[in-house]
Amino acid sequence: MTITTLSSRELNQDVTRAKKATKDGPVFITDRGRPAHVLLSIEEYWLLAGQRRNIVDALAMSEVADIEFDPPRVDISIRPAEL
């Protein structure tokens, strides 16, 4: 894991670089030379937070967006209640 450090100014000038750097590890963002924020990939955040993705979030992610998902149709018939 690589830790990248960027100043607030560098972050503002090149957000794409910061986002790409999260693939290798956390990105520390400094303010006046002192660490002020940490940028993480969503996967790293979920690991730290102990949260799991739900199916909607998982299917919305770009790396799984090209997977075909065609669940079988379920036919539910309605019948009167037996009392």
CA 58 to chain centre: 9
Q: Which two tokens stand for residue 75?
A: 């036919």
Cα pseudo-dihedral 27, 32, 37, 38, rounded to 10: 10
- Indicate yes or no: pTM above 0.85: no
Neighbours of 29 (CB within 10 A): 19
Least confident of 14-18, 31-35, 70-74: 70-74
In the chain, the domains with their CATH numbers are: 4-59 (3.40.1620.10)
State pLDDT tens for residues 61-81: 665 556 676 778 888 888 888
Name the nearest CA neighbour of 60 among 80, 34, 42: 42
